[in-house]
């Protein structure tokens, strides 16, 4: 019998890569999508191979319905508001979706599918400005944003349900991971798309915030493999998933512009209003535990990942240019 899996946030970057990975492994894949989400561009290649259920993490009844309709052996909880600056603008919505949504899901699973294996997507933002770098599973959490705080609440709920009810719940403390499917508002995509727009004369400058912030950037395709491995382990646990290598936003800009034959300095403008109220200086992960216990390791390097983002941005600009020529002709 094929194993059934349910993915919340299936239409996002991670959800789509995970869907493709699980389909290759022979899973029957189900996903929960918002009631008003009719188009799923990230799933266009595989949408006919998955079963989608309308639902929201804000409503217990729709979660119940989705679980009963799919009866999963495994569930990957990826659905959330994930853009950190959005949390400062909508902190109540952020908390209700991230923390409240996780609580509703865990309680539904406890009642309806207590033996289901559960992956919870936690985040490096829970570390905040940690006193040590790199960060590992034993580094103290000290979030400095509404998003990080909401994620820590959800993480602690997962640990509590695991300990209190004996449920198989594994948390992946995911450091930054990118791909061409990443939303344009995230800095990796913003830099690559901005650099390409400047290269083709479609923009004159790229406006960014803190160039000194250091992040550990990996590729989403690698990180979803780690998610799956966590649910195949003999016992549930928490794992940092990261490359172990940090790069500043300035380095990201310099490399992206260099790939296009440009010097970044004349084009990048720093806007202090784009700084976070409390910024995090350095987030670099130590994934020793995942390497040792799961046999996981990243396959993409930083430059390879950024080159892929640039190539996708170039293809989009080329497609838009051809579309304009057809419309004009």
Q: Is 156 exposed, middle or buried (0-12, 13-18, 19+ CB in 10 A)?
A: middle
DSSP output for 159-203: HHHHHHH---EEEEEEPPEE-TTS-TTSHHHHHHHHHHHHHTTS-
Contacts of 324 (CB under 8 A, 6+ apart): none
Q: Structure tokens of 161? A: 């349900």
Query: For residue 266, which phi and psi values (nearest 5 degrees)?
Result: -70, -15
Which of 17, 27, 76, 147 does the annotation list as catalytic? 147
Q: Is 125 noted as a catalytic residue in this protein?
A: yes
3-state helix, strand, coil in the chain (%, to 5): 45, 15, 35
Alpha-carbon distance 5 to 118, whole Å?
Answer: 10
Q: 247: closest CA among 234, 256, 235?
A: 256
Q: Is 147 noted as a catalytic residue in this protein?
A: yes
Q: Structure tokens of 86? A: 């959005």
Which of 20, 28, 74, 125 does the annotation list as catalytic? 125
Alpha-carbon distance 220 to 270, whole Å?
Answer: 28
Buried b (16+ CB within 10 A) or exposed e, 195-208: bbbbbeeeeeebeb
Alpha-carbon distance 312 to 201, whole Å?
Answer: 18
Contacts of 210 (CB under 8 A, 6+ apart): 249, 270, 274, 275, 276, 279
**Cβ atoms of 194 and 184 closer than 8 Å:** no
Which of 11, 82, 123, 139 does the annotation list as catalytic? 123
Q: 136: closest CA among 269, 290, 259, 33?
A: 290
Q: At what angle do helices 13-24 and 220-230 cross, to 10 degrees?
A: 60
Give catalytic residues, as residue numbers.
123, 125, 147
């Amino acid at each position: 019998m094929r194993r059934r899996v349910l993915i919340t946030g299936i239409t996002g970057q991670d959800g789509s890569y995970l869907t493709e990975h699980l389909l290759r492994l022979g899973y029957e894949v189900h996903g929960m999508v918002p009631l008003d989400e009719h188009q799923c561009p990230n799933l266009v290649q595989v949408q006919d191979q998955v079963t989608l259920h309308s639902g929201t993490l804000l409503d217990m009844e729709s979660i119940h319905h989705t679980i009963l309709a799919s009866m999963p052996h495994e569930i990957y909880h990826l659905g959330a508001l994930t853009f950190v600056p959005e949390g400062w603008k909508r902190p109540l919505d952020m908390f209700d979706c991230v923390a409240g949504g996780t609580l509703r899901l865990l309680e539904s699973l406890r009642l309806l599918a207590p033996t289901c294996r559960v992956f919870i997507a936690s985040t490096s933002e829970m570390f905040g400005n940690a006193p040590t770098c790199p960060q590992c599973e034993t580094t103290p959490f000290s979030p400095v944003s509404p998003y990080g705080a909401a994620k820590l609440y959800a993480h602690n709920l997962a640990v509590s349900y695991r300990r209190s009810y004996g449920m198989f719940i594994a948390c992946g403390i995911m450091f930054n991971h990118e791909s061409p499917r990443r939303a344009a508002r995230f800095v990796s995509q913003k830099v690559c798309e901005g650099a390409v727009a400047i290269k083709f004369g479609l923009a004159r400058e790229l406006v960014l915030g803190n160039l000194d912030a250091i992040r550990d950037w990996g590729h989403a395709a690698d990180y979803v493999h780690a998610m799956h491995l966590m649910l195949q382990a003999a016992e549930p646990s928490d794992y940092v998933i990261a490359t172990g290598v940090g790069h500043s936003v300035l380095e990201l800009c310099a490399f992206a512009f260099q790939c296009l034959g440009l010097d970044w300095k004349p084009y990048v403008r720093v806007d202090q209003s784009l700084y976070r109220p409390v910024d995090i200086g350095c987030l670099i992960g130590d994934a020793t535990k995942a390497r040792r216990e799961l046999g996981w390791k990243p396959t993409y390097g930083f430059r390879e990942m950024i080159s892929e983002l640039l190539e996708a941005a170039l293809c989009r600009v080329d497609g838009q240019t051809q579309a304009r020529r057809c419309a004009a002709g």
